[in-house]
A and B are shown apart, each in its own frame.
Chain A
Amino acid sequence: MSKSKNGYKRVSGDAVEYEVFARKARIDSLHLVGSVVAPDADLAMAYARATYDEERWCEMAIVRKKDVIRLWSPGEP
């Protein structure tokens, strides 16, 4: 893991990935707009808001990627 010149790792060992979901209108479904990496949910919320705030979302939510239960994935039957 590379370190910045400030001595902090760019992604710390306890950082986890969060999926970011959002929608523009109440009639839309929430959909995946991207992901962020952060050591806790507070920071993940701040990062999600900063990174994906270019649209006028009426709702945004984050979920730990490991908490998403996948029925199947690309390439699987």
Chain B
Amino acid sequence: MSLSDLVLSLADNKQMLGLRYAEWATRAPSLEADIAAAAMGLDDLGHSRVLYGCLEPLGDDPRTQDRESSPASIRNLAYFDEPWTEWSQFVAANAVLDTAFTVVIEACVNGSVEVLRQRLRKMLMEERYHFLHGRSWLRSGIEPAPLLLAWQEALEFFGPPGSDVEGLSMGPEQMRARLEEQLETKAPDVVIHWNVWDPLRRRTAEGAIDEPTFAMLRGLEEKKYAPPTASPPARVR
């Protein structure tokens, strides 16, 4: 597992998190929460762009052509495979997974790789408000199932014990402790089958993002709405 592989997975997850947040921009429980969902979605989509931009300076861009044809080539957690149907899923992702990604960003910012130390620092400031939002909604109480799943996938994202990535300031065990510290709670007891863990996608579950979302990522959904006879506008002299 190289640092580039981890950064690509982080970028893909941030992109999916941003998209899933945005899907709730008109469905959250209050107008303020709608706006927060939209704003956090924009933040995370922006973060993914910055992270993708770090791949070339890292010198080892792991993106391959199959990202155009295979949804399973997108390295996101299973939590983002399908749109969320319940607000509890949003809150669990916001509180646990978004914070877990921030912990990894902290490990990059405090690590030894200069491009990550410089470019990712601003994300930590923006993520402070995601954390406040997620923690406050989490305290108001949510369904236990999505919360348990979010914790499990956060731990899977950190990786198996001892699988430290060179250049980061924290390994999986330290990241877990940091997440527990942030959320002021111990991680629940979850059984993770590390023998089937995919080190590129950082998950144990099979599957991939849904086809409409995959088509949207590639811009195919936009083409559906273009009239078949559409032509470029005439140039005005």
Which residues of A are found within 8 Å of B137, using beta-carbon distances? 43
Q: Is the CB of A46 within 8 A of B133?
A: yes
B232 at the interface (CB under 8 A from A): no
Q: Known A46-B129, A50-B36, A50-B129; judge A9-B29 contact (CB<8 A).
A: yes
0/1 string, A5-47, CB within 8 A of B gives 1: 1101111100100000000000000000000111110110111
A4 at the interface (CB under 8 A from B): yes
Q: Is the CB of B132 within 8 A of A45?
A: yes
B32 at the interface (CB under 8 A from A): yes
Q: Is the CB of B140 within 8 A of A47?
A: no
Kindly state the separation between the CA atoms of A56 and B137 in the bound complex, as whole angstroms.
27
Q: Which residue of B lies closest to A7 (CB)?
A: B87
Q: Is the CB of B30 within 8 A of A42?
A: no
Which residues of B are found within 8 Å of A42, using beta-carbon distances? 132-133, 135-136
Q: Is the CB of A53 within 8 A of B30?
A: no
Kindly state the separation between the CA atoms of A32 and B35 in the bound complex, as whole angstroms.
19
Which residues of A are found within 8 Å of B35, using beta-carbon distances? 47, 50-51
Interface residues on B, range: 20 to 34
Interface residues on A, range: 20 to 34
Q: Which residue of B lies closest to A36 (CB)?
A: B32
B70 to chain A, nearest CB (A): 33
Which residues of B are found within 8 Å of A4, using beta-carbon distances? 27-29
Cross-interface CB contact of A6 among B36, B87, B132, cutoff 8 Å = B87
Q: Is the CB of B132 within 8 A of A43?
A: yes
A-B contact pairs, 29 of them (CB 8 A): A4-B27, A4-B29, A5-B27, A6-B87, A10-B31, A11-B30, A12-B140, A15-B30, A38-B136, A39-B136, A39-B140, A40-B136, A42-B132, A43-B132, A43-B136, A45-B129, A45-B132, A46-B132, A47-B32, A47-B33, A47-B35, A47-B36, A50-B32, A50-B35, A50-B38, A50-B39, A51-B32, A51-B36, A53-B39
Which residues of A are found within 8 Å of B68, using beta-carbon distances? none
Kindly state the separation between the CA atoms of A24 and B30 in the bound complex, as whole angstroms.
28
A19 to chain B, nearest CB (A): 14
A49 at the interface (CB under 8 A from B): yes
